[in-house]
Amino acid sequence: MKTIFDKANMMTGLVVIAMMVGVSGQAGMFPFSYTDSGAVPQGGTTFSAEHVISSITMPDPSITSIELILTFNNSVSLGATSDLSTLRGSLNLGTDVSSPYVSFTPVISSTSGGNAIYDVTFTGSSGTPGAGFDGLNPNGTWGLVLWDTGTTGFENGLVGWNLDITAVPEPVNVALGVFGVALAAGGGIKWLRRQNKTAAV
C-alpha cells in the first residue's frame, strides 16, 4: 500500500519530468517588420537603418536562427537598366566596430504584389563577419546596411524589411530553474514526512 511519501515522491518526479519536456519546446519565433524604404545608392555611399529590440522577455534569450526578408520595388530592382547582382549588404547586432555581423549578396527568391523578395536564414557562429548570430542575446540594436557597387546610375529601391528571430532560453538558467523546483518539492516531502511521523505517535 502506497504511503503519502510514495505519492509525494511520484508527484515530484512527474512535475520535474513535465517541466523538462516543456523546456525542450520553449523555443520562440519573434517577428519584426520595418518600413524603412528608399533607394540603395551607388558611388560608395550606403542605405542604412537601425532598430532597437527589447521585447524578447524569455529568460536570457539565445539566438538559434535569424531570417532576413528584404522587399524591393520590382519595377526598379528588376528593370532592364538595373542590376541587382551589384547589391551588397550587412546585418549587424550592436553599434560598435567590433559588433558581430553577417555579410550577404541579395538574390531574388520570389515576387509578391509587384515586389521582389529576398529571403535568407542565417545560422551559425557569430563573428566579424560570421555565419550567423547563434548563442547571442537578440535584445539590442539591429542595423541593416545596403550599398550598390554598380555604376549604371539606376538605383535599386528598398520597400521594407523583416527580421524573424528564433530564440531559446539560456540552457544553464533553465536547468537551474528546474533544479530549484526539485529542491522546493523535496522540502515539501520532508514536511510531509514530519507530519506523518507526528500523526503516527
Which residues are CB-contacts of 49 (< 8 A; sequence separation ≥ 6)? 34, 36, 143, 144, 161
Give domain status of residue 78, yes or no: yes
Q: Report pTM.
A: 0.71
Q: Where are the beta strands (DSSP E) in 57-139?
A: 61-73, 87-93, 101-104, 110-112, 115-122
Reported as a single tens digit per residue, the pLDDT across 102-161 is 999 988 888 888 888 999 999 999 999 999 999 999 999 999 999 999 888 878 899 999
- Does residue 13 form part of some domain? no
The phi and psi torsions of 46 (rounded to 5 degrees) equal -130, 160
Stretch (H or E) spanning 195: helix 171-200
Maximum pairwise Cα distance, the chain: 95
**CATH number of the domain bearing residue 121:** 2.60.120.260
Domain count, the chain: 1
> Per-residue pLDDT tens for 149-165?
988 887 889 999 999 99
Q: Are 68 and 181 in contact (CB under 8 A)?
A: no
The answer to the question of residue 190 being in a domain is: no
